[in-house]
A and B are shown apart, each in its own frame.
Chain A
Amino acid sequence: MGHEEAHFVDLGGPRPLGGPADVPGGRGAVMKARSALVNVALWLAVVFALFPLLWMLSVSFMQPGAASSYPPPVLPADATFANYRQLFAQAGMGRYALNSLAIAVGMTLASVLFNVMAGYAFAKLRFAGREAIFTALLAALVIPGQVAMLPLFLMLKQMGLVNTWAGVILPGMAGVFGIFLVRQYARSIPDDLLEAARIDGAGELRIFFLVVLPLLRPILVTLAMFAFLGSWNDFMWPLIVLTDSALHTLPVALASLSREHVQDSELMMAGAVVTILPVLLLFLGLQRHYLQGLTSGAVK
């Protein structure tokens, strides 16, 4: 993973300096002690962050009932796939995983397209009320989404969309944060480039798909990751909209499973692994894009 270092959350500023480096006089022992202190503290933090996840993995392979013994075992004495088998064969985990996947993919495709179109227009195309609308959108960021949940539920019920995937996906198909992110990025597209395409006789749609989209590729990946992880991990809205358990997503299914199977720790840990692993792997594969999006959203 060494090659990641170079472009990893490096925004191109001067070299990192949280606490300054040199020690007056360069006394080796002090330096060593300091280095040990810093690294021990960081490793403690790493253990704190990773231990629950590693333990989840370990318990998920224990024999049913093994984790509920005293003292609690750390590693499986007799590793087994029984919990995973039970999850997929009896608890319908495969179906929930597919539900989650379908909803997350649908939400990702739609929201990336809509947010990119809008973000590009707010950055590069002029139209009446552009600034006013954009300011209003930013102002709407202070309103917590839960304020809209109850009436939204009633609206979707009226439209016959309660208990459908569409009901989960529709409200998430565009978002102010996504539009903002794209707008920031799209502003760096040179006007001359767009103008040249126009002089060549290209229509606005053609310019968008053939010139703008390729230039926006990095932010598309970031946006897609945010959308996918957001949808995959979302709990409250799918819990409200999807009343039929056959349509449940993984988090909703896991929550209701954990209420039924309070004692079956091994089974629940296997369920947690199935839920977390896809997003964790996705993040590990594309973390550069994700982290850059996170910082560019917060630091100007």
Chain B
Amino acid sequence: MSTFGRPGGTDMTRRLAAWIFVAPALAVIGLFFVVPVAMGFALSFTDFDLYALADLANLRFAGLANYVQVLTLPLFWKSLGNTLYFVLVGVPLSISLSLGCAVLLQSPLARFKPFVRTALFAPVVTTLVAVAVIWRYLFHVRYGLLNEWLGAFGIAPIDWLGDPHWAMPSIILFSAWKGFGANMIIFIAALQAIPADLYEAARIDGASRWQQFRHVTVPMLGPTLFLVSVLTMAGYFQLFAEPYVMTQGGPLESTVSVLYLMYEEGFRWWNLGRASAVAFLLFVLMIVATRGLLHFARRTEEAPR
């Protein structure tokens, strides 16, 4: 830092160099992200459709019509409900699985740690579409292994992806499998950063294992837990490929997510104006949910333990 601010030509060239270094990245982000986001917002107030796609002269300002149409569309509320179901059940499930495995892996009693860690993380790097194909087969009502195993316990076959009640839970189970390793690695790093003497002190005070987890591990993990929740939730709100590959939104639209609806409206029916309105409603929903989580995190922090 001390070397900056000297007058003269070198400072000028250094500034110019800095701009040359940031220019390509800023150009890409500006042109392919910031501009489209602004355009998308504008688009959501127009009646952009297949006719406008053919000839821009057909484009008209539509005011709030798209938002009104979307908000009065039963399928939108259905997709919203499905997405919230996915988020509210899937995020806690996925995070508990991650945290549970991280804590177990950090135990000095655990053996073959590097192998276990790698194995648990492996699903994270796999291609979602490909593993969705595998799971679709695992879930198969007749030839799937899941029903075969359940049959051994005398449980009648369940049409996992074909029954409106089971399709979303199946996708939730699949998503937990696919993603829990990522947060597990983050939790492991955070667990390693907790000072050992905190546990020592708790032990001297006679705290049980569960009490130590509850009163040392969880509070010390607080910031990480919050960050992981926010990131995981953001990811879960963007549900798309799973229903696209596994259920095509069915059965009975029980797995149509908000993003799936946006895709169908925009790239299947070419109602780009209305699809943009769906996208921005999802954005608003995500902001509200993140705010809510922040609020909740603050409250728990202030609450006496």
Instruction: Judge whether B118 and A16 touch: CB under 8 Å.
Output: no
Q: How far is the CA of A17 from the CA of B181 in the complex (A)?
A: 19
Interface size (A, Cβ < 8 Å)? 119
Q: Are A125 and B17 in contact (CB under 8 A)?
A: yes
- Is the C-beta of A98 less than 8 angstroms from some C-beta in chain B? no
Give the number of A-B contacts (CB < 8 Å).
344
* Candidates A67, A69, A140, A255; contact of B244 at CB < 8 Å: A255
CB distance from A282 to the nearest CB of B (A): 8
* A235, CB-defined interface residue at 8 Å: yes
Interface: B252 (CB within 8 A): no
In the bound complex, CA of A275 to CA of B114 (Å): 25
Confirm or deny: B105 has a beta carbon within 8 angstroms of a beta carbon on chain A.
yes
Tell me if A35 and B109 are in contact (CB < 8 A): yes
Minimum CB–CB distance for B228 against chain A, Å: 7
Q: Report the Cα distance A117→B28, complex, angstroms.
A: 13
Q: Which of B21, B39, B186, B244 has the most CB of A within 10 A?
A: B21
Q: How far is the CB of B12 from chain A (nearest CB, A)?
A: 11
Question: Which chain A residues in 65-87 approach chain B with CB under 8 Å?
Answer: 67-72, 74
Q: Mark A245-281, 1 if CB is under 8 A from B, else 0.
A: 0000011101100110000010011011001100110
Contact B32 A152 (CB under 8 A): yes
Is B144 interfacial (CB-CB < 8 Å)?
yes
Query: Are A191 and B1 touching (Cβ within 8 A)?
Result: yes
Report which of B15, B106, B129 forms a contact with A235, defined as CB distance below 8 A.
B129
CB distance from B170 to the nearest CB of A (A): 13
Q: Is B194 an interface residue (CB 8 A)?
A: yes
Nearest CB of chain B from residue A237's CB, rounded to whole Å: 11
CA distance A69 to B148 in the complex (A): 12
Contact code string B79-103 (vs A, CB < 8 Å = 1, else 0): 0000000000000000000001111
Rounded to whole Å, the gap between the CB of B161 and the closest CB of chain A is 12
Q: A205-B17, A294-B182 are in contact. Are A149 and B127 (CB under 8 A)?
A: no
Check B125 against A283 for contact (C-beta < 8 Å): yes
Minimal Cβ-Cβ distance residue in A for B19: A127
In the bound assembly, the distance between CA atoms of A175 and B153 in angstroms comes to 50
Determine if A214 is an interface residue (Cβ-Cβ < 8 Å): no
Q: How far is the CB of B51 from chain A (nearest CB, A)?
A: 14
Return A233 CB to nearest CB of chain B, in Å. Answer: 5
Q: CB of B61 within 8 A of chain A? A: no
Check A148 against B36 for contact (C-beta < 8 Å).
yes
Determine the interface band of chain B, counting residues with CB < 8 A from chain A.
35 or more
Contact of A11 among B24, B189, B217 (CB under 8 A): B189
Q: Does B76 contact A (CB under 8 A)?
A: no
- Minimum CB–CB distance for B43 against chain A, Å: 6
Bound form: Cα–Cα A268–B137 in Å: 10
Asked if A46 is at the interface of the complex by the 8 Å CB criterion, the answer is: yes
When the two chains form their complex, are residues B203 and A144 in contact, meaning their CB atoms are under 8 A apart? no
Q: Check A142–B36 contact: CB distance below 8 A.
A: no
**A88 interfacial contact with B, CB 8 Å:** no
* Contact pattern, A 107-122, Cβ under 8 Å of B = 1, otherwise 0: 0000001110110111
B119:A49 contact, CB within 8 angstroms: yes
Cβ-defined contact, A151 with B43, below 8 A: yes
Q: How far is the CB of A225 from chain B (nearest CB, A)?
A: 9
Q: Is A146 an interface residue (CB 8 A)?
A: yes
A282 to B122, CA, bound (A): 11
B185–A295 CB distance below 8 A: yes
Sample (13) of A-B pairs whose CB atoms are under 8 Å apart? A11-B192, A16-B191, A53-B123, A117-B22, A145-B33, A146-B240, A147-B279, A151-B40, A191-B3, A240-B267, A254-B133, A265-B143, A269-B137
Interface of B toward A, CB cutoff 8 Å: 1-5, 10, 13-15, 17-22, 24-26, 28-29, 32-37, 39-40, 43, 53, 100-111, 113-123, 125-131, 133-138, 140, 142-145, 148, 177, 181-182, 185-186, 188-196, 199-200, 203, 209, 212-213, 217, 224, 227-228, 231, 234, 237-238, 240-241, 244-245, 248, 259, 262-263, 266-267, 272, 275-276, 279-280, 282-283, 286-287, 290
